[in-house]
């Protein structure tokens, strides 16, 4: 069953007015390690346990493969300044070209992923990507960057996506957050991608503030509450959740565009991870879709569901 109403939140304490930063860049050394731990914890008692366990192993690989990688190529200063002037993301996905840092990340991921327990289909896909030539890998990489992954080849693209997440997080982490500007409704100010979910945080100086989280480069950016992350409307916003779940995850629905995206109440449940808990609350997606809403967020690990 579902429940509709205002989002769960606590009032900002008097004298502790939120002064949120616009953008919070990822820490590649910790983001995937935390995600792996969360996937692992969720897999213990979840109906999707084997799949969550596989994603835990993949997230652990994302963390481990970073040691000794070449420095990623970062957009030069003039490109960053032009992007800021024209309210554009400094990383242009459409012009991305694999550099030695990405190639090394993908090769290491494919090697380190081999011992992970995974379904036969994923094992076959891993072999296919390892044996693929440069042109085939480039095609897969561009499908991921365009958020246009073919469902029939999803298993192969999962591994390429995981490597790109690491690479893009490393690029994002080397930018200056003060150079970033809003580029559109719920669009990542670093790479122009869509959010995987939004999160209400409990950070100092940002109490009960909402951030959208990029599905690719892991950047967090400030987004006002009670506003659709699909179309930007502030009308007809509702919140649905699985009755009795108490997992800190709701679906924010919009009557204007009939879209929805998850909103995670990390201020009440600090363990929540936007990618892991989005996958683990698949039942909420199924419930909301029955009501006629379309998913507006993007999670490569939920394609096909």
Q: What local confidence, expressed as pLDDT, does residue 244 receive?
A: 82
Per-residue confidence of the chain (305 residues) as pLDDT tens digits? Answer: 444 433 343 343 444 455 789 999 999 999 999 999 999 999 999 999 999 999 999 999 999 999 999 999 999 999 999 999 999 999 999 999 999 999 999 999 999 999 999 989 999 999 999 999 999 999 999 999 998 998 888 899 999 999 999 999 999 999 999 999 999 888 999 999 999 999 999 988 888 899 999 999 999 999 999 999 999 999 999 999 998 888 999 999 999 999 999 999 999 999 999 999 999 999 999 999 999 999 999 999 998 77
Based on the fold, state whether residues 38 and 148 are members of the same structural domain: yes
List b or e across 261-275, with b for residues whose CB sees 16 or more CB atoms inside 10 angstroms. Answer: bbbbbbbebeebbbb
**Residue 22 maps to a domain:** no
Q: What local confidence, expressed as pLDDT, does residue 18 receive?
A: 53
Domain boundary among 142, 176, 210: 176
Whether the Cβ atoms of residue 30 and residue 59 lie closer than 8 Å to each other = no
Based on the fold, state whether residues 285 and 264 are members of the same structural domain: yes
Domain limits for position 121: 28-176
**Residue 7 maps to a domain:** no
Based on the fold, state whether residues 111 and 159 are members of the same structural domain: yes
Q: Token pair 């949120």 is at which residue?
A: 20
**Residue 19 maps to a domain:** no
Q: What local confidence, expressed as pLDDT, does residue 237 receive?
A: 97
Based on the fold, state whether residues 34 and 158 are members of the same structural domain: yes
**Residue 105 maps to a domain:** yes
Domain boundary among 118, 149, 176: 176
Q: What local confidence, expressed as pLDDT, does residue 204 receive?
A: 83
Based on the fold, state whether residues 61 and 148 are members of the same structural domain: yes
**Residue 151 maps to a domain:** yes
Based on the fold, state whether residues 172 and 189 are members of the same structural domain: no
**Contacts for 40-46: CB closer than 8 Å, 24+ residues apart:** 41/271, 42/276, 42/277, 42/280, 46/280
Based on the fold, state whether residues 169 and 119 are members of the same structural domain: yes
Largest Cα–Cα separation, the chain: 60
What CATH number does the domain containing 219 carry? 3.90.1670.10
**Residue 133 maps to a domain:** yes
Based on the fold, state whether residues 39 and 148 are members of the same structural domain: yes
State the total domains in the chain: 2
Based on the fold, state whether residues 200 and 284 are members of the same structural domain: yes
The C-alpha atoms of residue 215 and residue 181 are separated, in whole angstroms, by 18
Based on the fold, state whether residues 44 and 161 are members of the same structural domain: yes
Q: What local confidence, expressed as pLDDT, does residue 152 receive?
A: 86
**Residue 191 maps to a domain:** yes
Q: What is the DSSP string of 15-66?
A: T------SEE---HHHHHHHHHHHHHHHHTT-TTHHHHHHHHHHHHHHHHTT
Based on the fold, state whether residues 35 and 139 are members of the same structural domain: yes
Which tokens belong to 13?
A: 């304490």
**Residue 3 maps to a domain:** no
Domain boundary among 115, 145, 176: 176
Based on the fold, state whether residues 46 and 112 are members of the same structural domain: yes
Q: Three-state SS for 263?
A: strand
What sections of the chain are H helices per DSSP? 28-43, 49-64, 77-85, 100-112, 120-131, 134-145, 154-173, 274-280, 282-290
């Amino acid at each position: 069953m579902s429940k509709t109403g205002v989002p769960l939140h606590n009032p900002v304490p008097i004298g502790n007015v939120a002064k949120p930063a616009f953008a919070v860049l990822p820490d590649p050394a910790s983001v995937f390690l935390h995600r792996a731990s969360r996937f692992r914890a969720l897999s213990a008692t979840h109906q999707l346990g084997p799949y969550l366990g596989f994603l835990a192993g993949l997230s652990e690989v994302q963390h481990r493969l970073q040691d000794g990688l070449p420095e990623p190529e970062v957009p030069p200063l003039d490109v960053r300044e032009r992007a800021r002037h024209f309210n554009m993301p400094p990383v242009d996905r459409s012009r991305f070209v694999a550099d030695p840092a990405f190639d090394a990340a993908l090769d290491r991921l494919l090697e380190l992923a081999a011992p992970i327990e995974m379904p036969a289909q994923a094992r076959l896909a891993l072999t296919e990507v390892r044996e693929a030539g440069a042109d085939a890998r480039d095609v897969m990489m561009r499908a991921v960057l365009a958020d246009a992954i073919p469902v029939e080849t999803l298993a192969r693209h999962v591994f390429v996506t995981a490597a790109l997440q690491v690479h893009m997080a490393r690029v994002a982490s080397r930018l200056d957050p003060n150079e970033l500007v809003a580029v559109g409704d719920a669009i990542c100010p670093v790479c122009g991608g869509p959010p995987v979910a939004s999160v209400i945080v409990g950070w100092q100086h940002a109490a009960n503030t909402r951030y959208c989280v990029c599905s690719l480069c892991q950047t967090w950016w400030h987004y006002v509450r009670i506003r659709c992350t699909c179309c930007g409307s502030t009308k007809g916003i509702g919140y649905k959740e699985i009755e009795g779940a108490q997992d800190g995850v709701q679906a924010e629905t919009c009557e204007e565009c009939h879209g929805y995206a998850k909103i995670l109440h990390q201020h009440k449940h600090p363990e929540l991870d936007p990618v892991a808990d989005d996958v683990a609350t698949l039942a909420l997606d199924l419930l909301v879709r029955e009501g006629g809403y379309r998913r507006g967020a993007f999670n490569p690990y939920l394609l096909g569901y």
